Amino acid sequence: MKVPDILNSTKKTLVSFEILPPLKGHSIESIYKALDPLMEFKPPYINVTYHQEEAVYKKHASGLLEKRIIRKRPGTVAISAALQYKFGVEVVPHIICGGFTKEETENALIELNFLGIHNLLAIRGDADKNTRMFVPEEHGHPHALGLVKQITDLNKGIYLDEEIENKTRSSFSVGVAGYPEKHMEAPNMASDLDFLKQKIEAGAEYIVTQMFYENKHYFNFVKRCRDAGIQVPIIPGIKPISIANHLNIIPKTFHVEIPEALEKEIKQCANNDAVRQVGTEWAIMQSKELINAGVPVIHYYTMGKSDNIENICKNIF
């Protein structure tokens, strides 16, 4: 079932989860272990993130640095297929611009279509950690807009090679990311919404938001989207704070605001167990308000951990 069909047919708020592939060398069993206790909440779909290659530097005994290109978390497509088979649930692998040429993107889409995976989340991908700039592959997409267009073109039977005969059309539904507090690289919210609207006009069918810790950011974002003519479903994303250092990491990495009241509570915690409890209670509070507002789905960023997400869901679903 396609995600838009799920969103349009539900009469109550559903729950979805986002997981990370395990680190290279680790077992898929860690994914199963994290998801097993969450399946009782009957998520209609599960997102699986994609992590592009990155440069790392290994120092040798001689003092010389060797540059290596590695992918720390491979396996997105295989994990997606495995979850679909094991749990009988729809999966939404992320497909990104970074690290892919358009030809490689097309090949990946063909493989996903062959596997019967028909839901995708199209995102640009992160900027380089060293330069803090996003550099697309040569003949790749610089923005998610181009990626959305390529996916919807394939749905129409439009391939890069125009000479292919008897072309098979793919059957993808594609979602995109939205930023209630503005994408960090956007000069202002108006330009960010304009770019988001272009992705919807190109064929994206729903939006999943970046995490936020004050629901007013989500409600304001939805209103601004509607005022801009964006009418697709907008799914709120929730990530509970679980360690004290999230007060530094999350604003710096994702450019989101931590409310003063939440920050104060966390700073009063004696240890990370207490922080985890505070973060869980805050997410429960957010979730209850979102449910009362009638959102179709709440999307939880699990980061491969399930105990705090399980506690949240037990309190509200």
Q: At what angle do helices 102-114 and 76-87 cross, to 10 degrees?
A: 20
- Among 262, 271, 260, residue whose Cα is nearest residue 238: 262
18: pLDDT strictly greater than 80: yes
Give mean pLDDT, residues 250-255: 91
56: pLDDT strictly greater than 90: no
182 falls in which pLDDT band (50, 70, 90)? very high
Instruction: Look at residue 131 in the predicted model and tell me its pLDDT.
Output: 66
Q: What is the CATH number of the domain that holds 16?
A: 3.20.20.220
Q: What b/e readout covers 115-147, taking b as 16+ CB neighbours within 10 angstroms?
A: bebbbbbbbbbeeeeeeeeeebbeebbeebbbb
pTM: 0.94
Instruction: Look at residue 124 in the predicted model and tell me its pLDDT.
Output: 94
Per the rule left: phi > 0, alpha: psi between -120 and 50, beta: everything else, 272 is alpha
As given in the structure block, the two tokens for residue 247 are: 């007060």
155 falls in which pLDDT band (50, 70, 90)? very high
* SS (HEC) of 28-44: CHHHHHHHHHHHHHCCC
Q: What does each C-alpha distance from 47 to 54, 92, 94, 217, 307 come to in angstroms?
A: 22, 4, 7, 23, 18
Residue type, 172: F
Instruction: Look at residue 130 in the predicted model and tell me its pLDDT.
Output: 66
132: pLDDT strictly greater than 80: no
- List the domain range (segments joined by +) for residue 38: 3-316
45: pLDDT strictly greater than 70: yes
71 falls in which pLDDT band (50, 70, 90)? confident
Rounded to whole angstroms, how far apart are CA atoms 45 and 133? 32
Backbone angles phi, psi at 220, to 5 degrees: -65, -40
Instruction: Look at residue 126 in the predicted model and tell me its pLDDT.
Output: 81
Which run of H or of E encompasses 261? helix 260-267
Instruction: Look at residue 216 in the predicted model and tell me its pLDDT.
Output: 98
Question: 128 near 97, Cβ under 8 Å?
Answer: no
Rounded to whole angstroms, how far apart are CA atoms 279 and 285? 10
Rounded to whole angstroms, how far apart are CA atoms 113 and 252? 37
Instruction: Look at residue 187 in the predicted model and tell me its pLDDT.
Output: 94
pLDDT tens-digit map of 271-298:
999 999 999 999 999 999 999 999 999 9
Average pLDDT, the chain: 94
* SS (HEC) of 186-239: CCCHHHHHHHHHHHHHCCCCEEEEEECCCHHHHHHHHHHHHHCCCCCCEEEEEC
Per the rule left: phi > 0, alpha: psi between -120 and 50, beta: everything else, 181 is alpha
Give the chain's domain count: 1
Backbone angles phi, psi at 57, to 5 degrees: -120, 125
Rounded to whole angstroms, how far apart are CA atoms 289 and 297? 13
**The Cα angle at residue 296 between residues 231 and 238, in degrees rounded to 5:** 100
Rounded to whole angstroms, how far apart are CA atoms 180 and 81? 31
146: pLDDT strictly greater than 80: yes
Q: What does each C-alpha distance from 215 to 20, 55, 173, 288 come to in angstroms?
A: 25, 37, 27, 11
Q: What does each C-alpha distance from 40 to 35, 44, 298, 301 come to in angstroms?
A: 9, 11, 15, 17
Give mean pLDDT, residues 23-48: 96
Instruction: Look at residue 135 in the predicted model and tell me its pLDDT.
Output: 84
Question: 148 near 97, Cβ under 8 Å?
Answer: no
Give mean pLDDT, residues 35-54: 94
Instruction: Look at residue 54 in the predicted model and tell me its pLDDT.
Output: 74
pLDDT tens-digit map of 106-127:
999 999 999 999 999 999 988 7
As given in the structure block, the two tokens for residue 178 are: 């939205």
Instruction: Look at residue 29 in the predicted model and tell me its pLDDT.
Output: 96
